[in-house]
Structures are given as structure tokens and as C-alpha cells.
Structure 1
Amino acid sequence: NTTDGWYLYADSSNGKFGDLADILTPVISLTGPKCTLLFWTYMNGATVGSLQVLIKKGNVTSKVWAQMGQQGAQWRKVEVFLGIHSYTQIVFRAKRGVSYIGDVAVDDVSFQDCSPLLSPDRKCTAEEFTCANKQCIAKEKLCDFVNDCADNSDETTYICRTFSGHCDFEFDLCAWEQDQDEDCDWNLKPSSIPPTSTEPAVDHTLGNSSGHYIFIKSYFSQQPMKTARLSSPVISKKSKNCKIIFYYHMYGTGIGALTLIQVSVSNRTKVLLNLTAEQGNFWRKQQLSLFGDEDFQIKFEGYCPHGYRECQNGKCYRVEQSCDFADDCGDNTDENECGGSCTFERGWCGWQNSLAENFDWVLGIGSHQSLRRPPKDHTLGNENGHFMYLEATPVGLRGDKAHFKSAVWQESSSACTMSFWYFISAKATGSIQVLIKTDKGLSEVWQESRQNPSNQWQKAVILLGKRRNFEVIFQGIRTRDLGGGAAIDDIEFTNCTTVGEISEICSEATDFLCEDKKCIAGHLVCDYKPDCSDRSDEAYC
């Protein structure tokens, strides 16, 4: 913790995106059943890459831990459970990000409880379990999801079948039951599916890509505090020395909360555990004693805290993280309903009609019979694909307008562009304009009213550039009474995120320039909430 100390880092000042840097241990002949790798890592910078821990045996390499992206200006502790391995090497692999802004550093690497088991030289006592290989272990270590015997005989199905609620979630939820909630559930996930930046790289049971774990997943946008519950079988009040052992992983900003509750048959509740903050990017073990004067069940509850919403992958995000062109969720939940890139094959993507007009943009499909609508969409190129077009209504006057607008985008980069495809047939009686709405008013950035005799989709590309708190509006205008028919499809925003953007000059004179060169609105300075990633807007308040 001083400037005199030393650490190991992967220098990103050279090389290109995706370059790898590996450092390996010598070959380790054998590790024990509780072997754990401990180290500290520091990953800071706008475009910092990733770090992985791999196990290499011969020509086979498997991932056991991973972390990617900026983690803040602090050292973070990591514990990686290794267990029993023979003739293996441990590999630290750093991957370079898109630029030199951010390095991956590692310090204080150590191995804990890695000594192999000694050959048995005594008989096991009555308080111990005799393993198949004659090793002796305490009976309380039976069925704790750790190979304490070194031959897995303490974790067999035959031994563990008498343990109520015992489940490794490799195939299903076992005897655990999901509370009926149509929006929010605990779901099985295989480690083989690429995780987001906050999910565990491997499960705890097998420690590799073939294992499974359960996590919270929601299928619809929900309000904060939505809860997912998982209930155990009923446990008898007569149970002696009863305890619950489980492993949990809680990592990332806005991780929400994990609560363990004991509920009696008469519905009396007791909170056994409540975790409400990030716990580190690794699996942690928890063991709690259970007792009661009535039969009872154990319930796991998970939810997002106040001020957060839940991503579809179970992660939480702050409301202010939506509509900023940055995929904070890892599955784009926070950007899906903002009026962004859209093919209109699965809905409107957050684009909306204004309620003030007397005719609208409507979702349509191709038609060779219509003289105004496109014969096919642009995305699929057939009559089954979808697009948005100006409806031709029985009532309407020339000059009527229909506005199709996005949500309010927080900020775009100076390189931000929007492209889309439009169709104005020879018989269409509508024109298209693209407007940008800000606090300062409306400005037109594109228009097209010419009919296209070839009846083909045309592409438009607009440089939006550096903007803040703006809406994009497609304005359709009737060019005749009762008219309409112009269409748009395949809207796409590119290079719009401000993540990693460096600028010495802000777009507005009242802006505040963070020390990391990001610009924020002046009213956000000294508001008791850091808006700069380096917290410089709150540093001198």
C-alpha cells in the first residue's frame, strides 16, 4: 500500500485490441481438495481489457475465473477455488482493450490449503467418515459440495440422498420450488453460455463450463423491489444439528440483495441472512444453523434495491443508466425501450407516436396490391417482414403531420451517426423529415419528399454528433388530402456511446470537464452523487 511496493501488470501502451499476455506457474504435481488461489487485482481505465485465470493440463486449457472492464481505482481481492488437480499449471491471462487507456495489474498471489492429502495411517473414529480410499474426514463435511475425500466418495448420490434439500442444480431445482410469479424467477443457467461481465465464469459444483447454477432472471421490465423466491422442502422441527450450506456469487454495481428467510408452517418468519452489497467476483460459502419450534421451510429471496431496475439477465441497473447508448446490463435491457436501433420485426423498440396528431405511423408488412406501401420490407426482403409507414386515413388534409419519436437520449458521442432505410413510391402521398428536439427547440437534420419511380428502398445516413438530452423524431407530412404511404425500416445508431471518448472541449459552455476528459452537465457538479467515473465532479465540494 505504498509507492515503494511492486506489482505485476500487463502494459497496454503497446499492441492492439485483443492481444494476450500470459504468465504461468511451473507444473504443479498435485493439489489438495481445499486448494484455493488468492490474489488481488487492479483494473482501471476507460478501455481496460480483461483478466482470466486458467488451468492448463497438457494441451487442454479451461477457464476457472474471469473479469472484464473497468473495476474502479482500487485493489480488489479474488478467491478462486481450485480443488484437486494433478500435473497442471495456473495461467493468468490478460487481454488488451480497444486502446491504451487502462491496464490490468495483479499482486499478492498465494495458494491456500493446497497440500495433498497424506496417505492414511490410522483407523477413523466414530465421529469421522471413512472414505473409499481410507481417508478420514469429519462427518460434518459430508455432502458439502467439496471433494474432501479426494475420491468424491463423500459426495455420492447414495450418501447425500438423505440430506433434505440437497441440490447441486446440475439438472433441475431438485426438491426446491419456485414461488409462482410470472415476471421474476430463479432460473438454471449453464456455465457454457457466455456470461455477462458480472456473472460467474464457472459454476461452483464442477468448476468448469459444463456446470450449472441458478440466478435471477426476469422476462419483463419490472419495478424495483420485485422479488424472486425459491423454497426448500418442509424441514422437521425435530431435526438435530440442522444447518444449511450454500455458495453464492454477488458481484457488480447495483447487485441488489440476497435474503435467506425461515418460514414456519404457521407463517412466522425469521430473517437468517441479508446481503445487500457486492461480495466480490467469486463464489463464497455460507453456513447457518437452523432450528425452530414448528416445522419450517427456508426461502431464498433475490431482488433489486430501490432506485434500480432489473435486467433480463438478473443484473440491476440504475434508472439514469438507461438511454445512454451504453449496454450496462450486458443484454441491452437498459437500452431496449429507448427508441434506438430497430428492425421492427419484434416490436417498436421504444419508438412511439405522438398523441397530439390525427394520423400515425403504423406497423405494416409488404403488399404488392397497395400503390402506396412498399411491396416488401427491407430487413427480410419479403412480404412477411415489418416496417413503419404513414397510414392513409379516410379523413385528413394536406400538411397534416405525424411524429414518430424516440425516448430522450442522455448523450451521444461526436462520431454518433444514425442510418435508416426509407421508401417513397411513385404513388405515395407523404414525405419524411428527421428532427432533433432539445431544450433549445426543434432542428431539421434531414428530409426527403421525392418519389422513387424504381420502387426501391433507399438508405439515409445522418451524422448526429455530440448532443445531450435529445429526442430523434421522424416527421411524416401528408402531401395530399387523405394521403400517406411513405415508410421507414432498419434504424441503426452507430458509434454513439461516450464510453472511452476523450475530449478537451465540451459541447456546452456550462458543461463540466471531468479529469478523465468526459463532459457532464454543470448542474450535476457537487450534487452528492458522482457522475464522472473518476468522481472528480464531487472532489472539491
Structure 2
Amino acid sequence: MSSPLQVTFYHHVGVVSGSLQVLTQKYPLGWSHSAWNRSKTQAHTWLRTVIPFTSAHQFQVIILGELSGDSDPSEIMAIDDISFSDGCVTVPAPDSSVPLSPVLLCPPSSFTCASGECIDEGKVCDFTPHCPGGEDEASCRSFCDFESDSCGWHEYGFAQGDGFDWVRGSAMTVPLDHQGQIPPLDHSTNSSQGHFMFVLKNSSSISQKAFLRGPQYRQSASGCTMTFWHYNSGISVGAAEMYLRIAGMDNTTVLWQTLYNQGNHWNRVTVQLGRITQPFQFLLAKLSLGVFDGVSALDDISFQNCLLPPAVEAVQCPSHTHFHCLRSRACVEHLQLCDLVDDCGDGSDEEDCSAELICDFEQGLCSWTQEQSHKGGDIFDWTHIQGPTPTLQTGPWKDHTLGNVNGHYLYIESSAPQEFKDTAVLVSPVFQPTLHHGNGMPSIATGPRHPCVFRFHYHMFGSHVFRLAVYMRTTKPGHGHMLWVRYGDQGNLWHRKTLYLNSAKPFQVTRVAKFWQTFPKFPGFLEIPDWKFPGIRRE
């Protein structure tokens, strides 16, 4: 047929994790082409859709509905009243003795690109476009300013329609009687025409909750971070929390929290995600413990450094400085080997590592010990903890190694019974000298016997944090020679540090932390998630 054609139907899409597609396929044998797609929740009503198309060949129309495995039981998808325009002429029914040609859709474990190409389902929503047109990342974009749509962020099913909901809007489109519940300007365009997600209250109920659920992402790389802008203003605005949900985990991980009025402006929030190997999504919870009176809004969500490193040929990965990952075929630096972080995306950079040279604190202190001598400056001990630190507005929400509430790390805080500049000291096992012996005497000139690199992640957050330092000592007691030091609040983030160690004698590494004062209103915290000593041996 060469004349314009159209199909009309009504649809009702109340799903968050799924899609409704209309495809055309060349008949009797040919690839299908996506003509229309919906993957977001709509209003609670039937919507009419008209799809125009042309075809120079005989064709079929295919309506394909898909629900993901994590869909809520309350999510539904329905169609009704399908009709074609007058220009459509059906093909006479074939002889029953001749079998119909099969519909050439992609297999269930695959995703159908608009071009008809099939890609593995595991490559959908992994921050890397695999379809020629990028359709595999369309429902889970790495940046969303809410200007064209909600980008897959929707009010969670069980809380939807209770009169306290997350909705998309702008200052120009919201009715006058709700203007007090929105920011005057969006963050993206700094105008009243710009869009954002905000909490709309049109009910007299108290103590309500609104849950905004994001799209599901397949996995993330080790350096992945998420940034968003949040508006939380008003005397009775209430608390807001961002949660991370990972497939296969019973517990959710808190990524961010605000408890009160943050002022009449947009606030930037950055959270570290790191390497996540299972499908995951976010849930932004808005809590109204009494009467809600304020503005709570979300805008400009973006993800950075979340793509896994690309596969390269072995000749493109210089072996003297880099490691060619065994299965993903990515290329990573030697310093990323055995650092307790899956940088390859297949875990091969963390295989065959010496257990005595690394510690993620998941099973305790490993071979590290608490300093017992007051001559070494030790007054109190580091604490082994899982999940967030016990005091609000201080410390990390999660460890660095696992990146979720199940992970462990060490921390200290400045509350009682600690006093001004009290010190906690953590001591490594004893390591062999790193230098050769020339003519029976140790000499730096003869060069290092083994490269000795000490890598660790640290977290310093709180107004009363004083100092965190790393020392090397060759005799006991005492701290020894200072290698590195940081003072004061370093932000609510994990930081990585690499130190190169050289010693002509057996040595230990010590971590020494101090705080400013006792009983602060908001205590400061110091945390250590993991240690790595590549290329050295213990005494």
C-alpha cells in the first residue's frame, strides 16, 4: 500500500516497569519496526492514540505489552477499541494447508531496537547505547531535566492517588490555589516555564507519604555518582530521603536525607553509587509527619562516570602500565588491580589477590590491630560498624566496598567519653624492607626490591573533625614518620588516596585520628572502609 494509513486504539498504562509497543512487520517474512512506544504511567483514564504509517509491502500490526519482573501487583496495562482507517485492506486468508510465517520478534531475553536489531536484555539501561537510535537507554536516561517528560520517574503504585503525590509541573501550569507548593523557578532554565517534579497536596489528611520511584538501571561502574537538585522549603515542609533498592537485597540503603527547611533555593546533592552489579533503582520518599506546608521539588538528575570501560583489543592495552581484563576485555591501570573495587566490570582485576595485603573490614580488622600503648598516642579505639553511623548529619550512609547498607567499615566519633584532641591509632602488620641491600648495607641507590603502594579510602565529615594522618614507623612505640595528613571536614564523600612507601628496615603503617572537642552538638566522624598493599610482603 502506498497511501497514508492509520490505526486508532485506546490504551490504559498504569505501569512503572514495563512498556506497551506497536510494531509493523513486513508480511509474510520480515523484520518488525517499532512505530510507537509507551513506558511510563499515565493518568487514571483511557487515552486515545492514532498512529499513521505507510508501507510498500503487505504488513501486519503487532501490539506488544511487557511487564518487568519487579512490577508492583497494582500496575496494569490494557487496550481496547482498535480500528484501522478506510485505506487499509486485509489480505485474503491463506490456504489452511499452508502454514503461516512466524512473527519475527526478538526472543524473550532480548530487546528490539527500532531498526529491528535484537540486543541482549542485559545491555538495556546500562548507561551505554547499543541500539543505533539509543532506544535501549530511552526509558532510563543518564540526564533528566523533566522538560519533555518525567523520564521514567513516577509516583510509586501503592501511594498513588492519595492526595499527596509527586507530579510533574511548572509554575506556569500549576493552578493558582497550589502555587504555594511549587518553586517559583525551575533549576534547569531558571524560569517559570521550566518543569520539575514536586509534591502536590490536595487532601486534608495528615501524616502522609509520597514515594517517587525512578527507572531501573542494569548496573553501574566503580566511579558512578548521581547528582540532583532538591528544593525543600517551608516551616512544616517535613523530611525527604533518597533510597537505593538493589535487586536481590531485602534491605534498602539510604543515600541522602534532609530533615527540615533548607531555604528558598535549589540545593545540589551528589551521592556516590560505585560499582553495582545487580539491577537497581531509586526511591525518593517525602514524609509529612503532621500538616504539610511547604515546597518539596526535584530537578536535573544526572549520572556521571557510570559507563563500564569499553572492550578493546589486546594491542590497544599496554601491558607495562595496564591490565587487559579477562572477560570484559576492558583495559584498566595496574593501580586498579587488587584494590577491592571491580573496575573491569567482570571482577578479573580482583582475582588472585593476596588476602594478607588487602582488608575490606567485612570480617573484622583482618591483620590490623588497635594500638595498645599510650606511648603510641592511643587513647581510644576504632569501631567496626555496618550501615550508617549512629548520629544524624554525620558519617557515611554506607561503606565504600559494597556500597550498600550491608557493608562494614571502621569509624570513630567525637562524642563522650572522648576529650579534646583524643587520639585513636590503628596499626598494620609488619612488612619487610622495600629496598635492596648493596654491599651488605641497605641503599636507596640500588632501587626498591618491590614496588610498595598503599591505597585506602577515607571519609571525614563533621564540624569537629580535626586531623587524619598516616605514619610509617620502624621502631615501637611512637607514630614514626608522617606520610600524609588531612585536616577538617572533607565533605560527605569517600575519597581515595595512594601512597608510595620505601623503607630500608621492616616497618608498619599507622592511622592516627584526632577530634577537636568533647560533646559537640553534631559530632564529627572519621571512617576507613578498605586498605590495599600491592607488591609488598609481610615480615
TM-score, normalised with respect to structure 2: 0.49
